[in-house]
Amino acid sequence: MEFDTTSDTGWIGDVRELAHELSESSTAFAQATESVSDALFVALRSLPSELSPRSFVRYDRRDAVLLVDLRVAEEDLSGLTMEEQRRLLGPLLLALVSRGSRSRTATWSGEERALIVAEFERMLSRLSWLPDEA
């Protein structure tokens, strides 16, 4: 499964750098999911809260891509270290990928759906984007 990222951010937070970090670490995910012919595209965005940022996920059958658009309010990132931002964004991103993997329009098998989520979670864990389990 191909993987790519982008970001669209204001001045608050490190979302651009975090999107780059995800992109640089995607090789293991792509190799582990190479049996899935589609693509996963993640957009990370930080926007002012007055714009009511709402995340979304959808599978585009025409382009065979799962689009994950994580939008957070800049105010939620204000004052957080990069590590804290990772820990905020990671679970949200994993939840969106998990939801997207259940798309009824995607032609993935149950095993492929589980593989996408498991490998994405593994990538986030390696990057310390998920809270440590107690």
The β-bridge partners of 8 are 45
Q: What is the pLDDT of residue 13?
A: 79
pTM score, whole prediction = 0.92
All structural domains of the chain with their residue ranges: 2-126
Average pLDDT of span 115-121: 97
Q: What is the pLDDT of residue 56?
A: 96
> Quick one: which H or E segment has residue 102?
none
If pLDDT is split at 50, 70 and 90, which confidence band does 133 have? Answer: low
Strand duo 56-60 + 39-47: pairing:
unpaired
Give the domain 2-126 fold.
Collagenase (Catalytic Domain) (3.40.390)
Q: Which runs of consecutive H residues, i.e. helices, occur in the chain?
A: 15-24, 27-32, 74-77, 82-101, 110-126
Amino acid at 1: M
Residue 37 structure tokens: 């012919």
Question: In 3D, which of 44, 41, 49, 130 has the Cα closest to residue 86?
Answer: 130
Return mean pLDDT, the chain.
93
Q: What is the pLDDT of residues 62-117, one digit of tens each?
A: 999 999 999 999 999 999 999 999 999 999 999 999 999 999 999 999 999 999 99
Using CA atoms, how far residue 29 sits from 8, 34, 35, 80, in Å, is 23, 8, 11, 27
